[in-house]
Structure 1
Amino acid sequence: MLQRAIRRTITNSMSTSTMSRPQLLVRAPTTSHCIPEEPVPSSPKSIVPSLSYSSASSLDEPEEPIARPRRASTILISQNASDVQRIMGESGTRLIDRCCGGGCCMAVTNTDRLNFERVPLPDNDAFRAMGLKIDLIPTSLSQIPALPPPTIRLLPIKNAAPIPSPTDSSMAMGEQEAKDDSIDFTPRTLESREIDTSVHPPNFVQPHPPYNVYSAKLFSARSLTKPGAEKRTYHFDLDVTDYPEELGVDFKVGGAIGIMAPNEKETVEELMDLLCIPRHLRDRPVLLKTAGGFWPTVWDGEKARELITTRRDLLTWCTDIQSYAPTKNLTRLLAEYASDPNEKRVLEFLCSAEGQNVFCDFRTGPHITMNQLLHAFPSTHPPLELLFAQLKQLMPRFYSLSSDPHQNCVPRDGCSRLIEIAVTVHETDDWRGGLRTGVGSGFFERQAMKFIEAEARGEKLELRIPMFKGLMANPLASEYVSDGPMLLIGAGVGVAPFRGFVQRRLKKANCANKVWVLQGIRDSLLDELYTGEWGVHESEVKKVVQSRKHSGKGQYVQDEVLAQADLVWFIINSVDGRVFVCGSTKGMGEGVEKALVDVSMAKGNLGREEAQKFWNIKKEAGQYVAETW
């Protein structure tokens, strides 16, 4: 009885308090992953596969607490952010700053008492593939960025005949040639047209002064992986016999070369179709004027430029149309030139503070290309010169040499000098279904397939690779020394530069001058690179670790590092001993680094913090070199 009286007293007290100070029970789901979550402490995630689930494992788990039934006096009055706004008169959540890039750090403000409307969304596969969750759109939008000012101009040249294009038909819509601001054509202004820009970039595309892009002949190409491999990898021999010697910099073992890969021809043509650029203007010379910056070259200082080029060349060699997520400035530009009011409204919503959560999904969701954007919003046709100002510059791709460049000579009219590289094709989902390749690896695969197919027909094609030597500043090259024991750890295409190390080292191998390779692969029958090409002592110097064995449990390369703890400890503590690691950071790189720390803890009797400092010191001394990506 006494307990019942106490409960009644507490209940009455709570009721009285509630009457004097009204409170509402509000439940508002988080509307965006841009809101940082509280960190949850956890142990480092192991690279080794975790144990499979077992029903016995649940015996020691605490039982789930039984949910108490809701009291009749508790009323659910809010189920979404719109209900919270209606009740509280203010935004239920404020999207705080978080650098998602492209303008998604903008915070939501001034969203009091909004009215909403349902806007018909674009009805096409390109838009649906973006996976944007847009329901109601506020009738009033705030913080829409201003239209970016023009910084690039394309001016016609009088009396300049276009280069013949695949078709002479033109489109009704698109850019029109201005009758003013044009310049007279003179042969001197079109010196860059002496270059065949279908296979080589214009001469104003410089990697860095004083180097120019060199047109290397593709001497041979072959596939290193078998059909069925998860990733396709190709080997290339490039003829650099006539490569100009500049500043005395030479190709080095473990060094890398830069490749100026173009956008795919069909992709560029499709983009110009989507922008409604008349076909007779696509290859016609124009005068390009920029207000500043690096574009359209790579490294030549930030400055205003004036040069002769074509629209096709700028889209093919200077503009990245598929590697970067859309920005708010780009989205704002598309909204400005959208003729369909519904498409315009959706694009403005993505630019606004109110559409911040959807914009973050827009940037971090499925990989979106420029072509997909224009397919998704087919009524927008921004001027090409304004689009150039918002797209990123097409940058060179770098690939490590997979051989000793000083040993590669092929007897043919004297001696042809070759360099060798291996390229793994990177793919991502395409909105049309299937996969599409990256800019650099896709270019290499297209060249390889042309060569291999022509070779099968008994033909010899003249294929070119636009490359440059640069400063050969790859850490693997700068830290290479010819003395002391060496352990090379890599997975996938990361073992390619080690082949040159082994070729150089085995020429002078002795008891005090050894080299060992730990190679991680998925399946030795499908994707073991350069098998049988490491020299006569391959079986003695190379250990292959398969993560997907056909029989038995697979292992990762970091597991073999632990198994070879004695060898690792001997090498790193030897005079001029070095450990090289090359491959993907995620998974392999992180796992190998942890394994090396574990080895030093076991063999050196060190604590974890001391072991990490030990490897940091070795890294500073150049004895531990990691080139990961």
Structure 2
Amino acid sequence: MSVGVVQLVDSSPDYVSEEEIHTPSVAPSLTYSEDSEDQDEPQLPEETPRRRRASTRLIAQSPADVQRITGESTQQLLNRCCGGGCCMNAQKKEQGVEYERVPLPDNDAFRSLGLKIDEIPTVLTKVADMPEQVTFLQSIRRVSSTPSPTDSAVSFGSQGSSPTIETKLQTLSLENLDTSIQPPSFVQPHPPFNVFPAKIHNTRELTRPGAEKRTYHFDLDITDYPHGEGVDFKVGGAIGVSAPNDAAAVDQVFDLLLVPRYLRDKPVLLRTTRGRWPTVWGDDQARELVTTRRDLLTWCSDIQSYPPTKSLLRILAEYALDPNEKKILMFLCSSQGQGVFCDFRTGPHISLIQLLSAFPSAKPPLDLLLSVLQQLMPRFYSLSNDPHESYGIRDGKQHRLIEIAVTVQETSDWRAGSRTGVGSGFFERQSQKFSELRRAGESAPQLYIPMFKGLMANPLAKEFVSDGPMLLIGAGVGIAPFRGFVQHRLKNANCANKVWVLQGVRDSLVDELYGGEWGVHEERVKKVVQSRRGESRYVQDEVSHQADLVWSIINSVDGRVFVCGSSKGMGEGVEEALIKVAVKKGNLKYDEAKKFWELKREVGQYITETW
């Protein structure tokens, strides 16, 4: 079958892409709700009864309806849906429009995208414009008359350049920094913090074989952490970690873009016209600096955590050499392909490597891609110890340590079956390398975590106090910061009866975190609730069971209830259980009980840290 040329018309700038639309979906519900009323259903006379049919015009009347019908919260639905109603008209053919069947790329990566494309209009309308390029990479050459492969002083232009240009370029040089263990200095979190390569003092896996999720513990050496930032590590605080992209994934992107190996680590002049990139929280301004392509792709751009955008697909379409690949990509960027594009974005998680492998003829310039890729942002992890009391001995010296626990997050992958998140995957690789070096006989492996003092004033740290009764409710890795709370409180004997922990786990034999590591009074202060063993209960069930304790603590002077963990399931369940406790023990109506906990939150007695 011959394939014609797709015509592009009406590429008007007033077209709004789905990334810019945040209005809620108006798609009707197709199911009944006990709280909904069918006001559009005609009422039949009583003498001619007919079987009542389900109306297709019923809509959700409450967040509970949305959760029940879609399996998602209202906010999740809003984030997922572009609001254009395109999902109701996916691949709907229009009369008078000519269509053609385009051969699809024959590779596993494309098939894994799950694109439901039948025929494509020969004329596409409202195709997204090419995005503005704001990032430029320029080759630079050495000024030295005797070039040296190890010379890091770089410049560009001829030796006959004007003094003004030469003077300017003398300040642009590749910094003397080991970017294999920390990002370039321009990747700076919010002032006055700077990224510090903290040496791994020790690491181990907390979970056992058979656990549904793997969790690792890290002892990080902060003895030499730079002073002068005006804040110390605090109980319940969180550190920021500038985790890099996996080195193997970075090289694969280079390979797919045909970037020669000799260029990947070569100094290059980076020029931006606006924006914060490649910094983290820097000012929105133009920049000129010397770096390498590898550093930019390793430390500055996220290549796997975000769904593809039309800007990215438009760039791939522009540089696709295969005409069929170009048509498919252009279709996804057009108004006719909006429904397919929405399914594409909300389906299985798609990485940059997957896209480049699915459309192998597309080889856009790296700097143009960097203009549209999302910023690689730091990840935050709560301290799992009392940072004022944790030390370790190495090389005959005492080292100050902070401790964190990291649960590995996994998502589906088109080739390996699953892949880890940027941050948790980095931690797992570092832990495994550390253990391998230890087994090989190396007593002190030189491995690092690039971190900074991030959130020492987050809700958990801010509301932690040294006195007053506390109830700590958590599940999974959300229990980690509470270990520091208990360690700090149990240093004082009179606090042994003023702190209680409710820890939710699936199976204590494989995934109970920090069992036996809470202090001498652990058996008196901690209750482990298992959802897949024994009585098979959730932590919210234990909250209801401990209603007397909950009510006593929250109504005590300086009494506090802390909740930490996943918001979906655990967080929502615990909040509902707390409301029911207030209804039962306080003799309150449901709305009054809900308002009761809102007031406790406002005064700092009810603190939640969920995600």
TM over 0.5: yes
Determine whether 1:556 maps to 2:538.
Answer: yes
The alpha-carbon distance between structure 1 residues 611 and 41, as it changes in their structure 2 partners (threshold 3 A), is: farther
Determine whether 1:36 maps to 2:27.
Answer: yes
Corresponding position of 1:572: 554
Match of 1:454 among 437, 448, 452: 437
Letter paired with 1:477: A
Q: Which has the larger radius of gyration?
A: 1
- For the 8 Å contact 2:140–2:269, the answer to whether it is kept is yes
Moved more, 239-248 or 324-333: 239-248
Match of 1:265 among 247, 255, 268: 247
The secondary structure found in structure 2 opposite 1:510 is helix
The secondary structure found in structure 2 opposite 1:314 is helix
Q: Deviations over 1:28-87 (max 9, x none)?
A: xxxxx976233866479xxxxxxxxxxxxxxxxxxx9799xxxxxxxxxxxxxxxxxxxx
Letter paired with 2:528: V
The alpha-carbon distance between structure 1 residues 625 and 384, as it changes in their structure 2 partners (threshold 3 A), is: same
The secondary structure found in structure 2 opposite 1:467 is strand
The secondary structure found in structure 1 opposite 2:482 is helix
Determine whether 1:598 maps to 2:589.
Answer: no
Quote how far apart the aligned CAs of 1:145 are. 1.0
Determine whether 1:589 maps to 2:571.
Answer: yes
Determine whether 1:528 maps to 2:512.
Answer: yes
Quote how far apart the aligned CAs of 1:392 are. 0.1
- Tell me the distance in 1 between the aligned counterparts of 2:494 and 2:552: 16
Extract unaligned runs of 5+ from structure 1: 1-32, 45-63, 68-97, 165-176
Determine whether 1:251 maps to 2:219.
Answer: no
The secondary structure found in structure 2 opposite 1:612 is helix
- For the 8 Å contact 2:496–2:525, the answer to whether it is kept is no
- Tell me the distance in 2 between the aligned counterparts of 1:254 and 1:373: 40
Quote how far apart the aligned CAs of 1:148 are. 1.2
Determine whether 1:312 maps to 2:303.
Answer: no
- For the 8 Å contact 2:138–2:270, the answer to whether it is kept is yes
Quote how far apart the aligned CAs of 1:247 are. 3.6
- Tell me the distance in 1 between the aligned counterparts of 2:574 and 2:328: 47
- Tell me the distance in 1 between the aligned counterparts of 2:142 and 2:361: 33
The alpha-carbon distance between structure 1 residues 151 and 339, as it changes in their structure 2 partners (threshold 3 A), is: same
Determine whether 1:417 maps to 2:400.
Answer: yes
Match of 1:478 among 462, 467, 478: 462
Corresponding position of 1:121: 104
Write out aligned runs for 1:173-572 (5 A).
188-192=171-175, 194-412=176-394, 413-459=396-442, 460-510=444-494, 514-549=498-533, 552-572=534-554
- For the 8 Å contact 1:576–1:623, the answer to whether it is kept is yes
Write out aligned runs for 1:53-202 (5 A).
105=84, 113-159=96-142, 188-192=171-175, 194-202=176-184
Corresponding position of 1:77: none
Quote how far apart the aligned CAs of 1:209 are. 1.7
Quote how far apart the aligned CAs of 1:248 are. 2.2
Letter paired with 1:520: G
Q: Deviations over 1:441-482 (max 9, x none)?
A: 000000000111221222131001100003512210011111
The secondary structure found in structure 1 opposite 2:609 is strand
- For the 8 Å contact 2:192–2:229, the answer to whether it is kept is no
- Tell me the distance in 1 between the aligned counterparts of 2:511 and 2:295: 37
The secondary structure found in structure 1 opposite 2:563 is strand
- Tell me the distance in 1 between the aligned counterparts of 2:322 and 2:518: 61
The secondary structure found in structure 2 opposite 1:123 is coil
- Tell me the distance in 2 between the aligned counterparts of 1:481 and 1:555: 30
The alpha-carbon distance between structure 1 residues 232 and 523, as it changes in their structure 2 partners (threshold 3 A), is: same
% identical aligned pairs: 64
Aligned length, in residue pairs: 532
The secondary structure found in structure 2 opposite 1:526 is helix
- Tell me the distance in 1 between the aligned counterparts of 2:271 and 2:495: 63
The secondary structure found in structure 2 opposite 1:245 is coil
- Tell me the distance in 2 between the aligned counterparts of 1:376 and 1:414: 54
- For the 8 Å contact 1:115–1:139, the answer to whether it is kept is yes
Corresponding position of 2:57: none
- Tell me the distance in 2 between the aligned counterparts of 1:352 and 1:106: 15
- For the 8 Å contact 1:519–1:545, the answer to whether it is kept is yes
Letter paired with 2:407: T
Quote how far apart the aligned CAs of 1:301 are. 1.2
- For the 8 Å contact 2:187–2:278, the answer to whether it is kept is yes
- For the 8 Å contact 1:517–1:543, the answer to whether it is kept is yes
The secondary structure found in structure 2 opposite 1:258 is strand
- For the 8 Å contact 1:101–1:327, the answer to whether it is kept is no
Tell me the TM-score normalized by structure 2: 0.83
Quote how far apart the aligned CAs of 1:245 are. 1.9
Letter paired with 1:371: I
The alpha-carbon distance between structure 1 residues 163 and 498, as it changes in their structure 2 partners (threshold 3 A), is: farther
Letter paired with 2:29: E
Moved more, 233-242 or 109-118: 109-118
Letter paired with 2:231: V
Quote how far apart the aligned CAs of 1:210 are. 2.2
Quote how far apart the aligned CAs of 1:329 are. 1.0
Moved more, 144-153 or 585-594: 144-153
The secondary structure found in structure 1 opposite 2:173 is helix
